[in-house]
Structure 1
Amino acid sequence: ATPLPRTTAAGPAPANGADAAQRAKDAAPASAHIRSLPGATGAAAADFDAARVAAIREDIRAGRYQVRPERIADGLLASVRDLLGPKREGGNE
């Protein structure tokens, strides 16, 4: 059997140094574009909790993190309701 390529949270591990350098070079324009978007560092940065991310990362490493599909579904439904809500002004709800 052929071993699978090693992957990380960021994706597949680069095959060699030249490949990694090319990926970094290709990612730079996208990264700069994302940082230039309105609100990319404002509200999103305020919502980011580094301590919470570190705690979740540790739980994943230790095998304690549990995915709760019902919670994910509830969050997705709430997001859809928020997106659809303003467009149905004056509608029958």
Structure 2
Amino acid sequence: MTQIEQVYDQLRKVIDPELNINVVDLGLIYDVKLDQGKLEIAMTLTTPGCPLHDSIVNGVKYAVSTVEGVEQVDVELVWSPPWTPDHMTEAGRRALG
């Protein structure tokens, strides 16, 4: 398993507390880059005013910090393109019903 695959595996452990679905299957993760120990994640939230944004971002940082070779984690919240249910994986759609 590559390091990026390990990152995504760890990200699947981060659950959006309102929808009870992981951030990957919700389609909140837009980009992941790893270069010489520095991991950069571009992600969004389901709504810009999400009151749990600190909790979710901290959960992401904590989860991926366990991947071997990751020395620094930067999470950037982006709002373009805005999240829609179209970003969800098939597993996420099934979980949402």
Same fold (TM over 0.5): no
- TM-score, structure 1 as length reference: 0.23
Which has more strand, going by share of residues?
Answer: 2
- TM-score, structure 2 as length reference: 0.22
- Which structure is richer in relative contact order (CA contacts within 8 A, separation 6 or more)? 2
Which has more helix, going by share of residues?
Answer: 1
